[in-house]
């Protein structure tokens, strides 16, 4: 562990319609401290001075929920690959470095305050069709529907998406294709999801478009910045599902 001092250039915005600006703060921390803990240290000092603390989103701080959605030095969740912001440690940076911290930049994710954005758009896409309908009753036996291991693995890889929005932040068009395709794919490869497959993909894609997300840029930036390494192949699968569904109309 080594002590270090960094300059945090943080986006401050009082409300959704207020004009925002960058403000720079100097913080003393150490290499073993996480990035969010460094923001905590900064906020403690701001409160002691009687200033408004920086608002940012977080919850589990274990790399599971994805709420710690920060744009750090031009990367969603920061320079560490396959990790969320809460798993980013200060040893990734140099002593005296200036670190730029921003909220997600997307029309579909409006800023609430400072570094916190409204990601309810993802919930609305899920509500449009990201589920399997069933009649209530006793739980079905786990082995009653045999599923090939590859299909099960593909479904689990897709289901690993935590809906953090890094894919949208990384895309120059603000596309949600990786998120939506992951949620479509986790059901599309399983027999339980086949019954509602056509309705699901059409409803989720339609809702995605209604909420103002952009078109896919085909650059692969979404998958490159995804903290859970959700594969880009999901987008191709969703496109096939969508075309098949439209052909049945």
Q: What is the pLDDT of residues 47-77, one digit of tens each?
A: 999 999 999 999 999 999 999 999 999 999 9
Write out pLDDT tens, residues 80-125. Answer: 989 999 999 999 999 999 999 999 999 999 999 999 999 999 999 9
> What's the pTM value of the predicted model, to 2 decimals?
0.92
Distance of alpha carbon 235 from alpha carbon 6, whole angstroms: 39
Q: Report yes or no: 54 and 115 within 8 Å, Cβ to Cβ.
A: yes
Write out pLDDT tens, residues 130-176. Answer: 998 876 667 667 677 788 999 999 999 999 999 999 999 999 999 99
């Amino acid at each position: 562990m080594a002590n270090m001092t960094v300059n945090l250039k943080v986006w401050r915005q009082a409300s959704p319609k207020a004009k925002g600006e960058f403000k720079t703060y100097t913080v003393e921390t150490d290499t073993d401290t996480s990035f969010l803990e460094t923001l905590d240290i900064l906020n403690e000092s701001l409160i002691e001075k009687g200033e408004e603390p920086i608002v940012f989103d977080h919850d589990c701080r274990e790399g599971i929920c994805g709420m710690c959605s920060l744009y750090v030095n031009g990367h969603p969740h920061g320079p560490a690959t396959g990790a969320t912001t809460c798993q980013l440690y200060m040893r990734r940076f140099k002593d005296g470095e200036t670190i730029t911290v921003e909220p997600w930049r997307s029309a579909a994710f409006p800023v609430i305050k400072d570094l916190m954005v409204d990601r309810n758009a993802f919930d609305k896409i899920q509500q449009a069709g990201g589920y399997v309908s069933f009649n209530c009753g006793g739980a079905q036996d786990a082995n009653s529907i045999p599923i090939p291991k590859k299909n099960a693995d593909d479904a689990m890889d897709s289901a690993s998406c935590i809906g953090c929005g890094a894919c949208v932040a990384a895309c120059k068009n603000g596309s949600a294709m990786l998120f939506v395709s992951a949620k479509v794919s986790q059901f599309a490869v399983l027999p339980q999801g086949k019954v509602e497959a056509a309705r699901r993909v059409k409803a989720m894609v339609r809702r995605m478009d209604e909420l103002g997300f952009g078109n896919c840029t085909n650059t692969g930036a979404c998958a490159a910045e995804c903290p859970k390494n959700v594969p880009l192949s999901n987008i191709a699968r969703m496109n096939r599902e969508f075309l098949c569904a439209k052909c049945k109309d």
